[in-house]
Amino acid sequence: QCFSADMRSPAVQRIEDVLALRGRQFREDNGPLAHQVQPDSFVEINNFYTATIYEKGAEVIRMLATLVGPEGYRDALDLYFARHDGEAATIDDWLRVFEDATGRDLSQFKLWYKQAGTPRLHVSEDWEDGAYTLHFQQEVPPTPGQDEKQPMVIPVAVGLIGPNGNEVMPTRVLEITEKRQSFRLRGLGARPVPSLLRDFSAPVILKRESSPEERAFLLAHDTDAFNRWEAGRALAKEVLTAMVTGEEPPLSLYLDALATMVRDDSLDPAFRALAMGLPGQDDMAQTLADAGLTPDPDAIWEATETLRQEIAEHLQDSLPRLSAEMVVEEPYAPDHAQSGKRALALALLRLTTRLDGGAAAERLFESADNMTLSLGALGCLLDAEKGEAALVAFEERWQGDALVMDKWFAMQVAHARPEKAADVAERLTLHPAFTMANPNRFRAVFGALAMHPAGFHGKDGSGYRLLADWIIRLDPKNPQIAARMCSAFETWGRYDADRQGMMRDQLARIARTPDLSRDTAEMVGRILGD
């Protein structure tokens, strides 16, 4: 994380890291496969290569660095290498070094390694006589094998923004150690707007009542780049939720705030590209489930498509100018300046494709001198259902490069309309270049199907049946990948009764397979709660 942030943009890298964490690890932590960063035991060691152990584990170390500060972290690292260079050190060795180097008691912090689940942090506030008080209440939901949880150490980076948009309190870290805790901030001339969990200072889910107007304000004025992006994402979620549930969405507020952001030439193009992205459909499904609603994958897909079209039409007059400004005239270079321009150019192209039917994407596909633009243009053509000729040309050019062809396979499934996704995946298994002996090729097709919520969760259950068929075929040859692909079913409990029943049936069919590997049997058993 830190190396990539130093080489590129810290804000952009942080957003991308959090997107990956929420997309994979939060999902894992919220379902039947939840487990500790440092598990007490295992059935099959191959099932230890998880988002919790790797991605959440990285976040735990990041929190430790936040709590002890840069100097304390450097002192601890120096001591760690002095003691353990060349050794197979344990997590306990690692934490003991920090205690010895900083004098800090980390016994409560160790719960991050021992307790599964994503903490929820509820926040409310009071304002009285120039004092602003933040009230925090933490809870860690029960997870398999862990019904009772203890309060965690949660570093919450906080800033305050005044009514005029100026920062009135720079970032400070509030250390939450109790189930309920309050902090009073004095000396303020007017009630501020809080910027909470800056730079995503802890891997928690923040729960706080706020208005669309406040989110739009933070999107425009927050001095923390991550939280500025987060405000826009929260506002987009509110719009999508209203569209799905049939309520009146704060659409104009969101579109105007987004347009201001996109047109702001002082902002990093890579940041603007990320700010234009909408919440993923699996993310929206979990958001609805958290609100006590049963997510409908088809309704989420339709709402997302509708909002993308609204954004394209709202930015229509600005798209030509912005796109022209993102053209890179210099020879290709993999640096931050050029990659940021390419990212924004493709985000703009995806909108333009909704207005011109793919004409601009076709031109870019023909002229692209690098893989980023070529793949981006191909994706736009697939979205417009005009990608057949481009797919043929791409395959002819890159058929000798296995890694590039993995992308060719994956894109066709990822960009398929929901009702066609399972059929596209099945058709691709008949392609001469498809082989389940190549794990990357298998993941390219079936990983893309699993990550296409409206396609995988089709009402007819064809996505479930197809994936189960291939897990059963793959298990004798590569039980590790077969087991990992079972995680596509881990969210079965949040959907409607029909989908739940179809997923349980396919999991039961996998479980009944003769000579099923320990890897896959363990995963299926945990998902079913057996």
Structure confidence by residue, pLDDT tens digits, 238-291: 999 999 999 999 999 999 999 999 999 999 999 999 999 999 999 999 999 999
CA distances from 428 to 406, 425, 441, 442, 445 (A): 11, 5, 10, 10, 7
- Is the confidence at residue 3, as pLDDT, over 90? no
Here the tokens at position 348 are 């703009």
Q: How far apart are CA 201 and CA 473, in angstroms?
A: 43
Do 69 and 126 fall into the same domain? no
Maximum CA extent, the chain: 73
Average pLDDT (357-378) is 97
Return the residue matching tokens 């243009």.
377
pLDDT, the chain, mean: 95
- Assess if residue 57 is contained within a domain: yes
Do 72 and 132 fall into the same domain? no
Do 110 and 125 fall into the same domain? no
Note the pLDDT tens digit of each residue in 449-470: 999 999 999 999 999 999 999 9
CA distances from 376 to 149, 345, 370, 381, 441 (A): 45, 9, 10, 9, 20
**DSSP H stretches of helix in 357-458:** 359-367, 371-383, 388-398, 402-414, 418-428, 439-450, 453-456
Chosen domain end from 249, 274, 301: 301
Domain with residue 91: its CATH number is: 1.10.390.10
- Is the confidence at residue 383, as pLDDT, over 70? yes
Of 311 and 46, the one with more pLDDT: 311
Chosen domain end from 80, 114, 148: 114
Helix axes 281-290, 297-314, angle to 10 degrees: 120
Here the tokens at position 422 are 């399972």
- Assess if residue 520 is contained within a domain: yes
Q: How far apart are CA 280 and CA 285, in angstroms?
A: 9
Residue 42: the pLDDT is 72
Note the pLDDT tens digit of each residue in 156-170: 999 999 999 999 999
List all residues 6 or more positions away from 43 whose beta carbon is below 8 Å from its beta carbon: 518, 522
Does residue 488 contact residue 421 with C-beta atoms inside 8 Å?
Answer: no
Grade residue 7 by pLDDT with cuts at 50, 70 and 90: confident
- Assess if residue 278 is contained within a domain: no
- Assess if residue 280 is contained within a domain: no
Return the residue matching tokens 């927050």.
222
Do 499 and 449 fall into the same domain? yes
Grade residue 40 by pLDDT with cuts at 50, 70 and 90: confident
One-letter amino acid of 482: A
Do 322 and 254 fall into the same domain? no
Do 338 and 474 fall into the same domain? yes
Note the pLDDT tens digit of each residue in 206-223: 999 999 999 999 999 999
Domain with residue 377: its CATH number is: 1.25.50.10
| Residue 260 CA from chain centroid, whole number | 24
Residue 343: the pLDDT is 97
CA distances from 516 to 75, 435, 475 (A): 49, 21, 7
Residue 47: the pLDDT is 67
Smallest Cα–Cα separation from 348: which of 446, 430, 275, 245?
275
Of 348 and 32, the one with more pLDDT: 348
Q: CA torsion sign, 332 to 334 to 338 to 342?
A: positive
Residue 277: the pLDDT is 96
Here the tokens at position 83 are 């003691």
- Assess if residue 201 is contained within a domain: yes
Do 83 and 138 fall into the same domain? no
Do 231 and 380 fall into the same domain? no
Percent of the chain with pLDDT over 70: 99
Domain with residue 164: its CATH number is: 2.60.40.1840
Do 244 and 213 fall into the same domain? yes
Helix axes 359-367, 388-398, angle to 10 degrees: 10
Does residue 24 contact residue 51 with C-beta atoms inside 8 Å?
Answer: yes
Chosen domain end from 276, 301, 326: 301
- Assess if residue 175 is contained within a domain: yes
Do 321 and 376 fall into the same domain? yes
- Assess if residue 286 is contained within a domain: no
List all residues 6 or more positions away from 156 whose beta carbon is below 8 Å from its beta carbon: 121, 136, 173, 174, 175, 176, 196, 197, 201, 202
- Assess if residue 321 is contained within a domain: yes
List all residues 6 or more positions away from 497 whose beta carbon is below 8 Å from its beta carbon: none
Residue 4: the pLDDT is 77
Residue 103: the pLDDT is 96
Q: Which domain holds residue 493?
A: 304-528
Average pLDDT (306-335) is 96
Residue 512: helix, strand or coil by DSSP? coil
Note the pLDDT tens digit of each residue in 43-76: 777 667 899 999 999 999 999 999 999 999 999 9
Here the tokens at position 318 are 């600005």
* Domain total in the chain: 3
Here the tokens at position 463 are 């996505």
Do 430 and 512 fall into the same domain? yes
Do 169 and 90 fall into the same domain? no
Q: Where are the beta strands (DSSP E) in 180-256?
A: 180-185, 193-196, 205-208
